[in-house]
Amino acid sequence: MTGAGRATPSRRAGGAGARTARARPGDRVYTVTPSPLGGLVVVGDGEALTGLWFLAKHRWFDGIDDRWLHDPVPLAPVSEQLAAYFAGELRRFDLPLALDGTPFQRRVWQALTAIPYGTTTSYSALAEGLGRPAGARAVGAANGRNPISIVVPCHRLVGATGDLVGYGGGLDTKRRLLAHERGQRSVIG
């Protein structure tokens, strides 16, 4: 969630000091929304979704920041669309996003949103589509830093041979998300 050259905010696992109040413009707000894969930490800035991580396990999530306000109201559309996604009723999210990263990371994340529901593409194919045919590793690094799991579907990237490789929420979670999108409901709920 931090851009190049900016310090990462200090965080406490579990959000021991997180505040509950009505958010003002510019405040970071969060809620934890349930899912069949466990709690999802949803973060926004009052206008757009800025973060979505698996609460129990995510490579880049350090915990709920003490400066965030717990306020589910502005994040209700995100929670509703996630519930519809997991119910098999939603294939494409329609939410305002604020993706904070380098220009290349933002290009990769934007390209991820174009991968159709229920399909996958390889890191190398995405790199090629971005005009960087030798950039599969750079795409992988950017994909790994995606701050908005599921909505920006980084789980839809696979290795060149179709193997499941890398996922901030763990390969089992990636496998379950892909199976869910292919209509295998029992793997999610």
Report, in angstroms and rounded to the nearest whole number, the Rg of the chain calculated over CA atoms: 16
C-alpha to C-alpha distance for 40 and 57, rounded to whole angstroms: 10
Which two tokens mark 55?
């609460």
Beta carbons within 10 angstroms of residue 114's beta carbon: 11
**Beta carbons of 35 and 43 less than 8 angstroms apart:** no
Pick the catalytic residue from 37, 154, 157, 158.
Answer: 154
For tokens 């969630």, what's the residue?
A: 1
Residues 6+ apart with CB under 8 A from 181: 117, 118, 156
Centroid of chain to Cα 137:
19
Helix (H) or strand (E) holding 32: strand 29-33
Helix (H) or strand (E) holding 78: helix 76-86
154 is catalytic: yes
Give the residue numbers marked as catalytic: 154
